[in-house]
Chain A
Amino acid sequence: MRLLHYLRALRGIIVRELYRFVHQGGRFGAALVRPLVWLFIFAAGFRSTLGIAIIPPYETYILYEVYITPGLIGMIQLFNGMQSSLSMVYDREMGSMKTLLITPLPRWYLLTSKLVAGTLVSILQVYTFLAIAWLYQIQPPPIGYLTVLPALLLTGLMLGSLGLLLSSFIKQLENFAGVMNFVIFPMFFMSTALYPLWKIKESNELLYTLAEYNPFSQAVELIRFALYGQFNQYAFCYTLAALFGFLGLAIVGYNPSKGMMQRKGGA
């Protein structure tokens, strides 16, 4: 019976997230328009400027659009993770986070369930993006669409747990703008999403080191390899470790006796 309770709660949280996603049609549109603008405009413009050498997992010279597609998938998941974080801060201000936190199940389970629900939504967005990209002649091998799924699950969970962690520390909705400036943009631009590591190394050694240790870089690389049916072990381990680190801290952040909630005087 207890197991059934856990499963019902997980299903309930996922269904609610999907309902919210469907009801907020604008959110789906915005989530898709952002990477598509990058793909159709930015990448097209930079195609001639940036030459990409043959680097794994690619076996031939590739167009810049092809190179940045995994980065844009990562971008979708990064924004989705931050969007979940934003909605959690909003839920906390509006009080609906309370209804989740007073559920008679362990808090780590409730938070993880919320994370899984957010990740599933991000995966739906990613596959829609990949379908549009396919029409734009960005066509990874068919098996890649299958092998990328577990990678997306892991990267979505990792980026979502970062959002969860941030939401446990952000007191008010207004503070969220800071997250955009200090987390999303540096994470995205200081990564392998837009340019390969060796290119960054050529221009700036410090930036190269930061990009290499940026968990978002490893998430993008995991997606890049998985999309071509390959497994990048280092990126997998790094992303997994980042997931446990962020999630562990987020759970502490939401713990009533140890976390920030009571110090803030809000729940």
Chain B
Amino acid sequence: MTFVDSTALAVNDVSYAYGKKTALDRVSFVVRRGDCTILLGPNGAGKSTLFSLIIRLYDSPAGSILINGNDVRKKPSRALAEIGVVFQQSTLDLDLTVLQNLRYHASLHGVGGRLARARIREELQRQGMYERRHERVRQLNGGHRRRVEIARALLHQPSVLLLDEPTVGLDVPSRGAIVEYVHGLCMSEKIAVLWASHLIDEIYPSDRLIILHQGTIRAQGGVSDVLQATGAADIGDAFHILTREAM
């Protein structure tokens, strides 16, 4: 796979196994700047494993993962500096305030002083959370915690944003707000977004799709490409066909 300028994330022939059980089998795709790519797959498809490999919580010698041209195995620090992550499970420190959590994250990314204050203010204001910066995270509801996590993931201005099922457990308005906000980011900030989900209604017509099932990519491309390839009327049907056929 050729690395081109607009490619923010390139996953090339990546495989991974837990012992003898294959979790990912020769997975390849790219995410370009400004693309919102939805990684769609049922539970156990390998989405979280793929994320763990991209952020180097796991390591696999099979294949390569490049972030802005930096191989995560060879130049992990450079690669990780380009990534913002929102994990499936909240990773905020509940006993700390919103501000303390964000300051901690900023310092881990080497952002300090005036710049850190400005970035925290900017991101929290975009999320409508600036007024609540002195509240402990424990006092926030699930939707607000997610907003803080997205603000945190964007603090160091990454070029790739990874979201691992960030709307799980949220009510409908909170989900809608996050889906809309992240899609807006792709347009306005030209961030490359890789969004793992199993919820069809989070997909916009302009999104790119990767359908992952049992560790292999069943289809990828624009929404219309996937519909055409499967002959389905909508993404729900296409997803059903692609994941059913393989069983």
Contact = CB atoms under 8 A, between A and B. Distances in A.
Interface string A100-111: 111111100000
Interface in B140-170: none
Interface centre among A94, A99, A100 (most CB of B within 10 A): A99
Interface residues of A, number: 32
A11 interface: yes
A177 to B, nearest CB: 23
Interface centre among B89, B96, B100, B108 (most CB of A within 10 A): B108
Contact of A20 (B81, B89, B95): B95
A95 B91 CA distance: 5
A102 B59 contact: no
Interface in A1-39: 1, 4-5, 8-9, 11-13, 15-16, 19-20, 23-24
A8 B110 CA distance: 6
A98 B91 contact: yes
Interface stretch (A59-67, A68-76, A165-173, A254-262): A254-262
Interface residues of B, number: 36
A57 B131 CA distance: 58
Interface centre among B56, B76, B104, B106 (most CB of A within 10 A): B104
B191 to A, nearest CB: 17
B93 A8 contact: no
B89 A104 contact: no
Interface in A233-267: 256-257, 261-262, 265, 267
A262 B80 contact: no
B65 interface: no
A20 to B, nearest CB: 6
A209 interface: no
B57 A101 contact: yes
B108 A100 contact: yes
A96 interface: yes
A8 B91 CA distance: 21
B100 A19 contact: yes
Contacts of A5: 109-110
B96 A20 contact: yes
Nearest to A261: B57
Interface of B: 18, 52, 55-59, 61, 73, 76-81, 83, 85, 87, 89-93, 95-96, 100, 103-112
7 closest A-B pairs by beta carbon, nearest first, are A12-B107, A5-B110, A257-B59, A104-B81, A256-B59, A104-B80, A267-B57
Interface of A: 1, 4-5, 8-9, 11-13, 15-16, 19-20, 23-24, 94-96, 98-106, 256-257, 261-262, 265, 267
